Amino acid sequence: MKKKKLNLRNIKPNTEKVHSHDDGHDHSGQPNSFKAYISAIISFSMLIIGIAFDYFDVGFFKDWLRISWYGLAYLPVGFPVIKEGWESIKKGDVFTEFFLMSIATIGAFTIGEYPEGVAVMLFYAVGELFQNAAVNRAKSNIKALLDVRPNEALVYRNDDYTSVSPEMVEIGEKVQVRVGEKVPLDGILLSEKGSFNTAALTGESKPDTIAKGEKVFAGSINMKAVIEIETSKEFKDSSIARILDMVQNATARKSKTELFIRKFARVYTPIVVFLAIAVTFLPYFFVDDYVFRDWLYRALIFLVISCPCALVISIPLGYFGGLGAASKNGILFKGASFLDVMTKINTLVMDKTGTATKGVFKIKEVKAIGWKESDFMKYLMAMEDQSTHPIAKAIMEYKEEGEDFEAKDVAEIAGKGLKGVVNGKTVLVGNKALMLANDIDVPTETESIVESIVLVSIGNVFAGYVVIADELKEDATETITALHKVGIKNIMMLSGDKDSITQQVARELGIEKAKGGMLPEDKLNEVEILKQNPNNKIAFIGDGINDAPVLAASDVGIAMGGLGSDVAIETADVIIQTDQPSKVVRAIKIGRSTRKIVWQNIGLAFAVKVIVLILGAGGLATMWEAVFADVGVALLAILNAVRLQRMKWVD
C-alpha cells in the first residue's frame, strides 16, 4: 500500500471519532472553544429563560411564541444530531443513537413536552463536548510524544547546509549529521570515518565504526565528529514516518470489550425501537383507560433511557483515554487491544543491550600498578587520543588534572591495539595478545574479568588496566523490583552478548534466569518453549533488529523507541519512547486502570438504565429521569474515563 507523505509539523492522528458531526475544530486540529460551545450556550440560555417564563406564568409566553422559543432553543443542538441521523440512514445504518435521540426529542415536541425535548438534546450535546475535549486531550498527548523525535535534516543545497523537514529530502542528497544527533534517513557515509551508536540496530554493546562508502542507518546516533551522508531512502520509508503512521492508526485494533459493546449496540438498538413501539400501542389491548399521549410519553422516555450512547461513547473513550494517558507518559500502544493484553502479562522476557543497559561504554574500573592513577591515565589517554575506536572515546571522558602528555609514532596493530612513545617511553595499549607478542607478563587476575578490558604497559613493564563496561540504565534495578510488586515474578534475560556478561548483569538486577550468546532464532525458541504453557502470558522487551522475531511471537512485544531499530519499532505492539524500562511497569498499571474504569462504566450504565427503564415503563419516571439515565450516565462515564489522563503514575 502506498503511504502518503507525512508532515511532522502538522500531525493529525487519525484516531477514530465515536461520532462524526461537527466537533468544533479548526483546520489545525486544535479545538476552537468558542465555536464548540456557542451552540450549547445558546440552547442552554434559551431553555433556562423558557423554563423561568413557564414557572412564573408570563402572560405573553403562550401558544405559538412558546413553541417557537423552544423550537429555536432546540435547533442549535438538535439539528446536527438530526442531520447525522439522516446521513446514517442514507448509508443504510438506521438504528443509531442519533436516530433514537431524534425521534425521542421530536416526539416530546409532538406531545407538547418542549422543555424536556430541548433538555434531552442539550445534555446529549454537552456529552459530545465532554467527549471531544477528552479525545483532544488524548490527541495532544500523542502529538507531544511524537514531537520529541527529530524533525529536521541539514541538507546541502545552493552551496550551503539548509535545515529542512526530512520529508523534503530526496534520494541522493547530501545530509550533515552533528555529534549526538540521530541520523534522520538511511544513507551512504561520505566522510572518511564515523562512529555510531548502533546498539538499537545490532543488539551489540560496542558502538560501530563505519568507513567511507558504507551504509548508515536511520536511528544511529553520531558519536564522534560531524559527518556527511548521501541519502538512499525517502522520509516516508524511515522510522519516523512509520511511527507517525502507527499513531494515526492507534485505535484501529480495538479491545475485545469494545468490539463486544459495538456488536451489542447494533443488535440492542433496533430491539429498543420495536419495544418502544410496543409500549405505545400494546397497552391499548390490555388497559381500560388507555390514553395514547400518556403511553407515547412513556415510550419516548423508554427510548431516551435505552439509548446506548453511554456505552458506545464512554467505553471507546475509556480505552482512548488509556492510550492518551500512556502517550503522555512516553508509551505508545498500537491499539486498545494491547491495553487489555497488558493486564494479563505474568511472564516478562527482556533483552540486555539497549534495554537493561545503555548500550554505551563507560570506565568501570582503573587499576594502576606501580604508577599513580592520574599519571597512568595520562599515558593511556595520550595514546587513545590518536584512536577513533569507541572504547577510546570512553577512556577520553576520564577527568584528570595537570598538563596532558603527547604521544608520538603511534601505530595501530590490527586486532591487538596501539603502540607508541610517550615521554620517551614505549607504551602498549590493547589486549592480551598485544602484551604477549611483546613479552609483557599479564597478571592472572585479568582473566576473571568478564567485561571489555584495556591492558597497558609503560617502558616494557605491565602498568595496569582499565575495565570498560556497558552501563546499566538508571531505572533498570528498580524496574525489576517494581515488576515483582505488580505480580510479574517470572522474569528472564536473553542477550546476544557474551554469556558471562549477561549473567553478571542479570545478577546485578536480581534476575534469576539469564542466557547469553543467543542468536535471534535462539531467543525465539526460548519464548516458544515458554508459550507451550498456556498459563503464560508473555511480554518481550527489546530494541534491535535481532529482537524482531521474538517481539512478533510474544503476546505483547515492547520496543525501546528512542534508540530502537525501525524493524523492532514496527514489529512491536507497545513502544517505550523514552527508552526507560521502568515505563513497562507504568504501561501495565495504565492498562489495568483502563480496564477497571471501562468495567466501572459498563456496570454504571447498565445498572442505572435497568432501574429507570422499570420506573419509566410503570409511569414512575419522567423525561428528566430519562435524561439522567442516558446523558447523565454518559457524562459520568466520560468524566470517569478522563481521570486516566489526570492520574499520577508512580512505579
pLDDT digits (tens, 9 = 90+) for 266-278: 777 788 788 888 9
Read off the pLDDT band of 121 (50, 70, 90). Answer: confident
Confidence (pLDDT) at 122: 85
Catalytic residue IDs:
351
Dihedral angle sign, alpha carbons of residues 563, 568, 570, 572: negative
Which range has highest mean pLDDT (57-71, 139-153, 563-577)? 57-71
pLDDT mean over 439-452: 87
Q: Cα–Cα distance between 238 and 186 in angstroms, integer?
A: 7
Task: Please report, as a single letter, which amino acid is at residue 130.
Answer: F
221 Cβ contact partners less than 8 Å away, ≥ 6 residues apart: 180, 181, 182, 183, 196, 197, 563
pLDDT digits (tens, 9 = 90+) for 24-56: 333 334 444 567 789 989 999 999 999 999 889
**Do 70 and 50 contact (CB within 8 A), yes or no?**
yes
How many degrees, rounded to 5, is the angle at CA 170 between CA 166 and CA 171? 120
Task: Give the residue carrying C-alpha cell 513497562.
Answer: 584
Mean pLDDT of the chain: 79
Share of the chain above pLDDT 90, in %: 27
Confidence (pLDDT) at 326: 84
pLDDT digits (tens, 9 = 90+) for 317-332: 778 778 878 877 878 8
Burial of 323 (0-12, 13-18, 19+ CB in 10 A): buried
Confidence (pLDDT) at 349: 95
Full strand arrangement of the beta sheet holding 187-189: 160-164, 153-157, 174-177, 227-231, 187-189, 215-216
Confidence (pLDDT) at 641: 76
Name the grid cell of 80.
Answer: 446536527
Q: CA Rg, the chain, in Å?
A: 33
Rounded to 10°, the helix 582-617/633-646 angle is 170
pLDDT mean over 419-426: 93
Q: Which CATH code for domain 153-245? A: 2.70.150.10
**Do 564 and 574 contact (CB within 8 A), yes or no?**
no
Output 292 or 152, whichever has higher pLDDT. Answer: 292
- Provide the 3-class DSSP secondary structure of residue 402: coil
Dihedral angle sign, alpha carbons of residues 512, 518, 522, 528: positive
Q: Cα–Cα distance between 153 and 132 in angstroms, integer?
A: 35
Percent helix, strand and coil across the chain, each rounded to 5? Answer: 50, 20, 30
358 Cβ contact partners less than 8 Å away, ≥ 6 residues apart: 470, 471, 472, 473
Q: Cα–Cα distance between 14 and 252 in angstroms, integer?
A: 9
Read off the pLDDT band of 530 (50, 70, 90). Answer: very high
Asked if CATH classification 3.20.180.10 holds for the domain at 359-472, the reply, yes or no, is: no
Read off the pLDDT band of 258 (50, 70, 90). Answer: low
Q: Cα–Cα distance between 426 and 438 in angstroms, integer?
A: 11
Domain residue limits, the chain: 8-146+247-329+590-646, 153-245, 359-472
Burial of 186 (0-12, 13-18, 19+ CB in 10 A): buried
Name the grid cell of 563.
Answer: 534508540
Least confident of 118-132, 214-228, 521-535: 118-132
Going by C-alpha positions, the residue among 252, 261, 243, 262 that lies closest to residue 336 is 252
pLDDT mean over 161-182: 86
- Give the chain's end-to-end CA distance (angstroms, integer): 40
pLDDT at position 4 over 60: no
Query: Do strands 425-430 and 417-422 pair parallel, antiparallel, or not at all (unpaired)?
Result: antiparallel
- For the beta carbon of residue 52, count every other beta carbon within 10 angstroms: 11
Going by C-alpha positions, the residue among 407, 246, 309, 403 that lies closest to residue 629 is 309
Instruction: Name residue 417's beta-bridge partners.
Output: 413, 430
pLDDT at position 230 over 80: yes
Output 203 or 481, whichever has higher pLDDT. Answer: 481
Task: Give the residue carrying C-alpha cell 503476546.
Answer: 555
Query: Do strands 227-231 and 174-177 pair parallel, antiparallel, or not at all (unpaired)?
Result: antiparallel
Share of the chain above pLDDT 70, in %: 80
Read off the pLDDT band of 200 (50, 70, 90). Answer: very low
pLDDT mean over 72-95: 89
Confidence (pLDDT) at 567: 63
**Do 120 and 101 contact (CB within 8 A), yes or no?**
yes
Enter the pTM of the model.
0.62
Confidence (pLDDT) at 16: 36
Dihedral angle sign, alpha carbons of residues 346, 349, 352, 358: negative
Confidence (pLDDT) at 429: 94
Confidence (pLDDT) at 403: 75
Output 360 or 457, whichever has higher pLDDT. Answer: 457
**DSSP single-letter state for residue 335:** B
Q: Cα–Cα distance between 387 and 424 in angstroms, integer?
A: 20
Confidence (pLDDT) at 412: 83
Q: Cα–Cα distance between 10 and 6 in angstroms, integer?
A: 8
Matching CATH topology for 153-245 and 359-472? no
| DSSP string for residues in 173-233 | -EEEE-TTPBP-S-EEE-SSEEEEE-HHHH--SS-EEEETTSEE-TTPEE-SS-EEEEE-S
517 dihedral zone (left: phi>0; alpha: psi -120 to 50; beta): left
pLDDT mean over 57-86: 91
pLDDT digits (tens, 9 = 90+) for 572-593: 888 887 788 999 999 999 999 9
Going by C-alpha positions, the residue among 363, 312, 355, 385 that lies closest to residue 128 is 312
Output 60 or 391, whichever has higher pLDDT. Answer: 60
Query: Do strands 513-515 and 490-494 pair parallel, antiparallel, or not at all (unpaired)?
Result: parallel
**DSSP single-letter state for residue 16:** P
Q: Cα–Cα distance between 20 and 29 in angstroms, integer?
A: 14
33 dihedral zone (left: phi>0; alpha: psi -120 to 50; beta): alpha
pLDDT digits (tens, 9 = 90+) for 17-26: 333 333 333 3
